[in-house]
Amino acid sequence: MKVNELKLRFSEQLKQTKSKQGFDALYLEYLGKKGVINRALKTLPQLSDEQRRIDGPKINALKNHIAKEISEQRRNLEEQHKNEWLDYTVPGQRIRTGHYHPTTIMINALNNFFRYYGYSIAEGPEIETDEFNFEKLNLPKDHPARDLQDTLYIREPEILLRTHSSSVETRVMSSQKPPIRVVVPGKCYRNESVNKTNGAIFYQYEGLAIDKEVNMTNLKFTLEAMAKFLYGENIETRFRCKYYPQVEPGAGLDIKCTFCKGRGCSVCKQRGWIELLGSGMVHPNALESCGINHKIYSGFAFGIGLDRIVMTKFNIADIRSLYGGVLVYK
């Protein structure tokens, strides 16, 4: 055991230590349960009696020296801090406790985009009436399109969990006069089997614009600008004719699958395209049911499956990962 070399090494380390954490680490390295000194003491029984009588006192002396030096240096450090002036009125650094959920990140990003184009953010109740959820959207009680939405009722047939955030649009149209520009982020509910791309609880992002002489060109420009904002200037999009009772004509916006780049995969169901949203010109019946003269005003509306945008933006292949409550650390 080269005690002098250990003492020299300790002295060099002690000179470089300038913090309480450093002194604690140095103490553990030399005097801890598995430290250098204890390991040296455990080797003494293996030595001859003569060598043990020489090395034993030296190791004990080094142990006392190390303990004394660390204690003195730590005390000196504490004395220095006592003499330092501390301004307790200076604001501290805020500790970050976590991250926004991907859905919240996407809602904030879309809100910022549509605010730039003059849209307001609207909210409404998640427990809704049949009138605002269906009837004012050109979906009377006997309309077959109601079968496409497996509704969860609180009190049948009038009180339900909203199946889409379009119910907020009917509330806005019923309470405000044109011109109207609103977007509606919110949670929706349907009695659906949960799989990789669908959930019983999901988020939608609706948009509504009503004014004089609003047409499909305005709708197409808005949605293409939004797609480029989300996915970049090179994103490929396409519009397809679609049927939605609350709009006429209706159109769906697709983007080239961001997972397989159009080759076909389980996320896009081998189509190469992902349906991003449904849209169209607000049906005259929907305008009239909310007290807006369809001969003077026209408008467009769109509804985005927000979870699908989150999945494509963050490369999440299974929608259940968003709301399963399982924390994944990388």
pLDDT digits (tens, 9 = 90+) for 93-141: 887 777 888 999 999 999 999 999 999 999 999 999 999 988 898 888 8
In a domain, residue 114? The reply is yes
262 phi/psi in degrees, rounded to 5? 95, -5
**pLDDT at position 65:** 85
**pLDDT at position 1:** 52
- Distance CA(132)–CA(65), nearest Å, equals 82
State the pTM of this model: 0.65
Token look-up 């002098």 returns 4
Q: Which domain holds residue 207?
A: 102-323
In a domain, residue 329? The reply is no
127 and 40 assigned to the same domain:
no
**pLDDT at position 328:** 55
74 and 164 assigned to the same domain:
no
**pLDDT at position 327:** 61
130 and 256 assigned to the same domain:
yes
243 and 170 assigned to the same domain:
yes
265 and 312 assigned to the same domain:
yes
Q: Spell 226-259 as b/e; 16+ CB within 10 A means b.
A: bbebbbeeeeebeeeebebbbbeebbbbbbbbbb
79 and 219 assigned to the same domain:
no
- Distance CA(168)–CA(191), nearest Å, equals 20
Give the domain-ending residue among 56, 83, 110: 83
In a domain, residue 216? The reply is yes
- Low-confidence stretches of the chain (pLDDT < 50) are 329-330
135 and 107 assigned to the same domain:
yes
Cβ–Cβ contacts within 10 Å for residue 275, how many?
16
Give the domain-ending residue among 83, 111, 146: 83
In a domain, residue 90? The reply is no
- For residues 269 and 233, the answer to whether their CB atoms sit within 8 Å is no
228 and 305 assigned to the same domain:
yes
In a domain, residue 88? The reply is no
176 and 315 assigned to the same domain:
yes
Q: How many domains does the chain have?
A: 2
CATH number, domain containing residue 163: 3.30.930.10
Select from 144, 167, 152, 199 the least CA-distant residue to 322: 199
128 and 68 assigned to the same domain:
no
107 and 55 assigned to the same domain:
no
In a domain, residue 241? The reply is yes
Q: How many CA atoms lie within 13 A of 227 on its CB side?
A: 23
In a domain, residue 313? The reply is yes
In a domain, residue 94? The reply is no
Give the domain-ending residue among 50, 83, 116: 83
Q: Which segments of 43-149 does DSSP mark as H helices, in order?
A: 49-83, 102-116, 130-133
162 and 17 assigned to the same domain:
no
pLDDT digits (tens, 9 = 90+) for 290-304: 999 999 999 999 999
- Radius of gyration in angstroms for the set of CA atoms belonging to the chain, rounded to a whole number: 34
The tokens for 184 are 């509606």
